[in-house]
């Protein structure tokens, strides 16, 4: 196992639509194990594969319950309910947090590392991390959900930071 460098805002891989995994193999298992180690080292509660430069539909998360690290392969959101404001951050935009509105409860269907179907359903941190990671796989970032005017200012700040202007 190894920790991998986490791609930061501005890296084009974060905006890519990731390709589905079409079969479990040693390569996929190795990526997942490295992603889990990278997530815990960061530290973070979720990580999508494109955040470590692998544009495949893979994510890992730990919703800080007694189940520990879990894997989502080819996850799909199959149901959402309600609306909820929650403070979110992202390992690809370190040190920044925003109040983000998303559905309160979500149900996600995915495969685990054995290729078996798994379903996760929840609200709070679990619901939030599931939605955040699935969005990454379609090139989504939490800042996309900010109100337009706020988003414009945040994008300007992040671009200036990347250019070394701040």
Please report, as ranges, the residues that interact with Ni ion according to CB under 5 A.
Answer: 90
Has 37 been annotated as catalytic?
no
Angle at 136 (CA atoms; ends 133, 141), nearest 5 degrees: 105
Q: Which residue lies nearest Ni ion, judged by its C-beta?
A: 90
Please state the closest distance from residue 73 (CB atom) to Ni ion, in A. Answer: 18
Question: What span, in angstroms and rounded, lies between the C-alpha atoms of 31 and 71?
Answer: 11
Measured from the CB atom, is 15 or 116 closer to Ni ion? 15
Measured from the CB atom, is 24 or 124 closer to Ni ion? 124
Whether residue 39 is preceded by a cis peptide bond, meaning omega within 30 degrees of 0, is no
Segment holding 128, helix H or strand E: helix 124-137
Q: How far is CA 22 from CA 41, 48, 52, in A?
A: 28, 17, 19
Measured from the CB atom, is 21 or 51 closer to Ni ion? 51
Please state the closest distance from residue 47 (CB atom) to Ni ion, in A. Answer: 7
For 17, which DSSP code? P
Please state the closest distance from residue 116 (CB atom) to Ni ion, in A. Answer: 26
Catalytic residue among 26, 87, 99, 133: 133
Residues marked active site are found at: 133
């Amino acid at each position: 196992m190894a920790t991998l460098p986490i791609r930061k805002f501005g890296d084009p891989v974060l905006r890519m639509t990731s390709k589905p995994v079409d079969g479990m193999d040693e390569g996929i298992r190795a990526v997942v194990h490295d992603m889990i180690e990278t997530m815990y080292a960061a530290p973070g509660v979720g990580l999508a594969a494109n955040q470590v430069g692998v544009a495949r539909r893979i994510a890992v998360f730990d919703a800080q319950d007694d189940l520990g690290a879990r894997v989502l392969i080819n996850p799909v959101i199959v149901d959402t309910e309600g609306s909820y404001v929650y403070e979110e951050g992202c390992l690809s935009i370190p040190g920044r947090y925003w109040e983000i509105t998303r559905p309160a409860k979500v149900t996600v269907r995915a495969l685990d590392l054995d290729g078996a179907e798994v379903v996760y359903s929840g609200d709070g941190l679990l619901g939030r991390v599931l939605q955040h990671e699935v969005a990454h796989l379609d090139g989504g970032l939490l800042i996309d959900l900010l109100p337009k005017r706020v988003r414009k200012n945040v994008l300007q700040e992040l671009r200036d930071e990347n250019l070394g202007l701040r």
